[in-house]
């Protein structure tokens, strides 16, 4: 009987891990990169990360409680504050949602640094 290969070591998973590692590297070093250059880096990296994530295999969770978190609140705050400082007044943007209590379209203010910090926390 032939053993089925472990999907965790598939090419798609390994390429996602490599893209996630690049994202985390730039998030962690954001204070060393000028804001405009950092935005250009993320503009190229985020679509690639999205594509890699879309190709991940569907797997059943191993643990009922979900995965262990490795990013502390302090780590998150350091990443967030660094990104927010780099983006300056370009950090906030209008976020239009399709449905909400205000009606069919609601406009809220979102933060690039907060969204990127949340992504960092999820993929680190």
108 CB-side CA count, 13 A: 11
Q: Give me the CATH number covering residue 51.
A: 1.20.120.1550
Q: Which residues form the domain of 96? A: 7-59+73-123
Residues near 94 by Cβ (< 8 Å), separated by ≥ 6?
A: 107, 108, 109, 110
- Whole-model pTM: value is 0.83
- Asked if the structure places residue 64 within a domain, the reply is no
83 lies in some domain: yes
Q: Is the pLDDT of residue 95 over 90?
A: no
pLDDT band at 102 (very low <50, low <70, confident <90, very high): low
Q: Which residues pair with 94 in a beta bridge?
A: 109
- pLDDT score of 118: 96
- Would residue 105 count as lying in a domain? yes
Taking CA atoms, 90 is separated from 20, 110, 119, in Å, by: 24, 11, 19
For position 21, what pLDDT does the model report? 97
Q: Is residue 88 part of a domain?
A: yes
**In a domain? residue 2:** no
Number of domains the chain contains: 1
pLDDT tens for 2-51 read: 777 788 889 999 999 999 999 999 999 999 999 889 999 999 999 999 99
Q: Band the pLDDT of 100: cuts 50, 70, 90.
A: low
Q: Which of 83, 91, 87 is nearest to 110 (CA)?
A: 91
**68 domain residue, yes or no:** no
Residue 31 lies in a domain: yes
Residues 47-72 pLDDT 10s: 999 999 999 998 777 777 766 778 99
For residue 31, give the nearest of 104, 82, 77 by alpha carbon.
82
Please enumerate in sequence order all residues whose Cβ is within 8 A of that of 108, keeping only pairs 6 or more positions apart, or say none.
Answer: 94, 95, 97
């Amino acid at each position: 009987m032939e053993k089925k290969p472990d999907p965790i070591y598939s090419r798609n998973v390994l390429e996602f891990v490599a893209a996630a590692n690049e994202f985390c590297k730039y998030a962690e070093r954001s204070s060393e990169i000028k804001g405009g250059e950092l935005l250009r880096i993320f503009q190229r990296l985020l679509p690639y990360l999205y594509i890699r994530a879309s190709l991940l295999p569907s797997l059943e969770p191993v643990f009922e409680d979900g995965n262990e978190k490795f990013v502390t609140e302090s780590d998150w705050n350091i990443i967030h504050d660094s990104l927010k400082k780099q983006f300056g007044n370009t950090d906030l943007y209008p976020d239009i949602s399709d449905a909400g209590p205000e009606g069919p379209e609601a406009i809220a203010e979102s933060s690039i640094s907060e969204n990127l910090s949340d992504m960092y926390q999820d993929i680190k």
